[in-house]
Structures are given as structure tokens and as C-alpha cells.
Structure 1
Amino acid sequence: MTAPTTHPTPVAGLDLGGRTALVTGAAGGIGRACVLRLAAAGAKVRAVDRDAEGLDALAGQAQDLAGAVETRTLDLTDLDAAEQVAAGTDILVNNAGLQLVRPIEEFPPDVFHTVLTVMLEAPFRLIRGALPHMYGQGWGRIVNISSVHGLRASAYKSAYVAAKHGLEGLSKTAALEGAEHGVTSNCVNPGYVRTPLVERQIADQAAAHGLPEERVLVDVLLRDSALKRLLEPEEVAEAVAYLCGPQASFITGTSLPLDGGWTAH
């Protein structure tokens, strides 16, 4: 039995006026929550996704916020375009992701390649595109939406786990290189979040584990979590916002688990 859904109230006082942020995977889930949170703090947010309809809906939600939201339809497998869209950003949130649950021997090589392209190579190119501006002004914030799977492995998720482990290393390298330039780089590591990405994999997990779908949430997804509920996208967005604020200026090269106690085992 999961606990009731909670929707956290944003912490007051974060002022990102005059800052430009870029969020990938912005049309839904964690990405949408991050766009809305950063825009509410006054940032001009460049919302990037391949889902044009989802971006249109997001733009409608963001109309009354302090900061403006500019939408860009982009497939991150176009790596040159990904690098170009990051130019001039002060805050970069690498969030876009995809998932396929299959045993290694049945995992399609083309899907493995695509997952690593979108979730590891594209973040590298986005960071590469953003750093000249960040270095030039002596300030920048890179927040990589990793996962508990950046710190732990699970069966049947070879591409996702490999990509997230690689993202952790990329983030730490960016932190070491960016320190002298006023640029921090950190990972946020959610457990299972109430997003379409998680909802879509329940059927795959049911097939892989031979369980009815209604048992997947408790017996598989939340098995290792001390807190038996899904994390809300707004909770992840609040952690992202914290890492962009002045109180987090000494936090870099680290990973912030929002995993309900999963990694306490």
C-alpha cells in the first residue's frame, strides 16, 4: 500500500531573475516540473523536447510565471543541434531519458545505442555547448538528472544503468574542471517517480518478472525503498532548484539521492 500523494510547496526566496536555464526532456514528468519551478523563480527557461504537443501544453501552463518559457522542439540524437541549443545558458538541467526493460541477450543493440546517445552523449554535448558562456561569466550550474540506477544496478536495464553510471562520471569530471570557473555540476538521483516513463515500464516489468501488473509497484519497483510511495516530479524539481541557489554554491561533484532509503541498504 503506497502512502498518499504529496505535492510539496516550493521553498520561497530563490531568485533566478536574469538567468537563462535549459531543461531537456521538458514536455512532461520531471522535466516539466523543473521548467515550471525555475521559471517561477524568475529564470528564462529554454524548454527542449521532441514532443511538440507536450511543449505547447507546457507553454500554456507557464504563462503566468515570473520567468519566460521558450520552447524548442529537438531530438537529442541530433548531437550537433544539442550542443548549439545549449549556447548562452547559465543553468543546464540534463533530464531527457528513455527506458527499455529486457534481458541483455534480448536487448536490441540499436536501442542500447540510442539510450546511450540520448542519456550520455547528448549531455556531454550540451555541457560542451554551455561551458564557454558559463566560464566567461564565472558562474554556472549543471544539474544532471541521474537516478538511483546511477548508484545501483537492476536486472533487465543494461542500457539505462550503463548510461546513468556514465552520467555520474561525466558530472564529476565537469565539477572538477568547472570549479575554478565558478561552475558547479551535480547529479540528482531519484528513485521511482510518478512519470509516464515509470508507468510505461510496469507492463515490461510484469512480463520480465512473471508478475501481474498490480504487484509490480510494491514487489518490484518499491521493493528496496523504505518509503513505499512514488516520488513526485515536484520534489525532484525542488532539489534541482536548491542546487541552483546561492546556498548550494559549495556543493559540486556529488550525487543527491531522492530514493526513499533505497541506497541505505
Structure 2
Amino acid sequence: MHIPLPQPAVGTAKILDGRVALVTGSTSGIGLGIARAFAFAGASVVINGFGKPEEINDTIEGLQKETGATAVYSAADMTKPDEIAVMVNLALETFGRLDILVNNAGIFHVGPIDQVSAEKWDAVVAINLSSAFHTIRVALPAMRRQGGGRIINIASALALVGSPLTSAYTAAKHGIIGLTKVVALETAEQNITCNAICPGNVWTPLAEAHLAEQVKTGGLPREQVIRNVLLAEQPNKRFAMVEEIGAFATFLASDAAASITGAALPIDGGWTAH
């Protein structure tokens, strides 16, 4: 597996110094990678997601020790608008502002469309799409009052193309692109940008577990499963690393990206170039 990209040393140029970021679904995987990148760049961060309390505490303490940033945790359930509002208010009450919002929380379900239950559809859409609407709705007034902000929605390559057996997820991620464009247009003159990152396959604990399951059940060599099954649609035949997503999100959150808004930006190894 590819070696993660090195992290910048604490004390180097901090392009997000003094800013406050809220990253949903950030106790592991892509969300945690983005939160770490923001913290290294000087931002204070609000972490959100599920997990065992002791593991979350370890994550927060490790993040603060590693980066020197301040981090707090919200246990908000992203299917519940009232809890989402409390989470956004936590950021504002703790730090006095909210500069960066990353909507990363998501779940995935695989199955033929006629076998997807109404409950599963509703859950996938609630977490992957509706939660982004609820966070943006609550965060925008604060961003407007303080004179600007950055909203980054984590979509997917499946926000740009279709894939069998992923009806709820693909529909929700396509919806994220539409939401991104509308928010960008409504905030275009307010120093607020809204963009969507569309990752392909990313190396996360979930991807690692899925790989192990595929190797076990399929009886194929690990590298063959990676190349011909998991990365079948990804021309570069490698997983992206969470550090790559974090670095790109940091750029989009910075002053250098002030003119980028309303965009759906793939990090997919050429998947959507087909």
C-alpha cells in the first residue's frame, strides 16, 4: 500500500491561522484527514462523528499534541437537524466564529434498487445529503456576519457518474453537487465559496476492512483484488490517501481559492475522465 504523504511540521506556514473549521464525520477516515490538515495549517477544529468515547478522546488529544491546534468534539447525530444546530452553535460559542464548514459525514449501501428498503434509502439520503443542507442553513448567517467563509462538501466520483447497486448513495451525492452550485450562486458576492470534492477510492480503515473481506471471500491475491475489483474503474490503479484529500481541502479553504466556487472537483485517478 502507498505510504501516506508527510505532514508539515508544526511551526511552518499556517495558511489557516486563526480560522475555525467544523468537519462532520471526522473521527476517522477522510474527515479526520481533513481535520488534521486544517489543524496543521493553523485552524482550530470541531470534530464530529461516532465512536467509543475513549477512542474519540485519544483522537482529540493526539490531534492537539501533534498539531498544536485546539480541537473540540460534538457528538451530533447528522440525521437530526436540532443536534446539527447545537453542533454549529458549539463552534460559535467556543471560538466566536466559524470560517470553514466541511460536510463529510456519509454512509454507503450496496444493493439492487428493488431490494433497497425505504428505511435504508432515507438513512443514506439523510446523512449524505440532508445533513449538508442543515449545516449550511445554520452556518451561513454566521459566515455572512463575519464577512466570509468556506463551505466544502465531500461528494464522490459517484456524484458525477453512475454505478450499479448504489442507487441511494449515487442519488444523494448527485444532490450534493446541485446543493453546492445553489449555495455558491447565493453567496457569490459575500466572500463565501462553496465547492464539492469528488474522491474516487480512498485508503481508509473502511477500505482496508473491505479489502480484507474481498480477499477472504473471493480467494484472490490481495493485489489482484485491489487492481481488478476495488480499483476497476480507477485508471491510475491506486488509492488516494486521506492526506491528499486534506491537502486539497486546505487549499480550497485558503485565500488562494477565493475565486473557486460552485465547482465539482474530482480526485479520482481519472475515473470520471472515461
TM-score for the superposition, normalised by structure 1: 0.90
How far apart are the structure 2 equivalents of 1:76 and 1:216?
33
Deviates more, 1:64-73 or 1:250-259: 64-73
Over 3 Å counting, the alpha-carbon distance change for 1:46 and 1:90 in structure 2 is: same
Give the equivalent residue in structure 2 for 1:101. Answer: 110
**1:199, CA displacement in angstroms?**
3.9
User: In the superposition, relative to structure 1, how do residues 175 and 97 fare at CA in structure 2: closer, same or farther (>3 Å)?
Assistant: same
CA contact (8 A) 1:101 1:201 kept: no
Sort the Cα spacing of 1:38 and 1:152 in 2 relative to 1 into closer, same or farther, 3 A.
same
8 Å CA contact 1:47–1:71 kept in 2: the answer is: yes
The letter of the residue matching 2:5 is H
| Cα distance in 1, alignment partners of residues 3 and 117 from structure 2 | 36
- Percent identity between matched residues is 39
Pairing of 1:120-135 with structure 2 (within 5 A)? 120-135=129-144
Match of 1:178 in 2: 187
What corresponds to 1:56 in structure 2?
A: 57
Tell me, what secondary structure is at the counterpart of 1:110?
Answer: helix
- For residue 236 of structure 1, the aligned residue among 221, 245, 254 is 245
Which ranges of structure 2 fall in alignment gaps of 5 or more residues? 93-97
172-181 or 7-16, which deviates more: 7-16
TM-score by length of 2: 0.88
Mapping for residues 1-265 of structure 1, pairs under 5 Å: 4-10=2-8, 13-53=13-53, 54-64=55-65, 65-87=67-89, 88=92, 89-201=98-210, 212=219, 214=222, 215-265=224-274
Amino acid at match of 1:196: P
Asked if 1 retains the 8 angstrom alpha-carbon contact of 2:4 and 2:243, the reply is: no
Assess, with a 3 A threshold, how the Cα gap between structure 1 residues 7 and 124 changes in structure 2: closer, same or farther. Answer: same
Q: Quote the Cα distance in structure 2 between the aligned partners of 1:93 and 1:118.
A: 13
Contact 2:14 2:40 in 1 (8 A): no
Q: Which amino acid in 1 is paired with 2:77?
A: D
SS in 1 for 2:64: coil
TM-superposition CA deviations, 1:112-158 (whole Å, max 9, x none): 10010011111100001110011112210000111101101111111
Go from structure 1 to structure 2 and tell me whether the alpha carbon gap of 1:116 and 1:200 turns closer, same or farther (over 3 Å shift).
Answer: farther
Counterpart amino acid of residue 259 in structure 1:
D
Structure 1 residues 253 and 21, CA gap change in structure 2 (3 angstroms): same
Q: Secondary structure of 1:62's match?
A: helix
CA apart distance, 1:101: 1.0
CA distance in 2, matches of 1:47, 1:259: 25
- Judge which range, 210-219 or 139-148, deviates more: 210-219
In structure 2, what residue type is equivalent to 1:95? N
Cα deviation, residue 81, structure 1: 1.3
Partners of 1:116 and 1:193 lie apart in 2 by: 21
CA contact (8 A) 1:101 1:204 kept: no
C-alpha displacement of 1:80: 1.6
TM superposition shift of 1:10: 4.7
Shift in CA distance, 75/204, structure 1 to aligned 2, threshold 3 Å: farther
Q: Shift in Å at residue 5 of structure 1?
A: 3.4
Asked if the contact 1:226/1:261 (under 8 Å) is kept, the reply is: yes
2 CA distance for matches of 1:199 and 1:102? 21
Show structure 1 runs of 5+ residues with no match.
Answer: none
- Relative to structure 1, the CA distance from residue 156 to residue 8 in structure 2 (aligned partners, 3 Å threshold; closer, same or farther) is farther
Cα distance in 1 between the residues matched to 2:4 and 2:25? 23
d(CA) in 2 for partners of 1:170 and 1:201? 30
1:38–1:4: structure 2 CA closer, same or farther, 3 Å change rule? closer
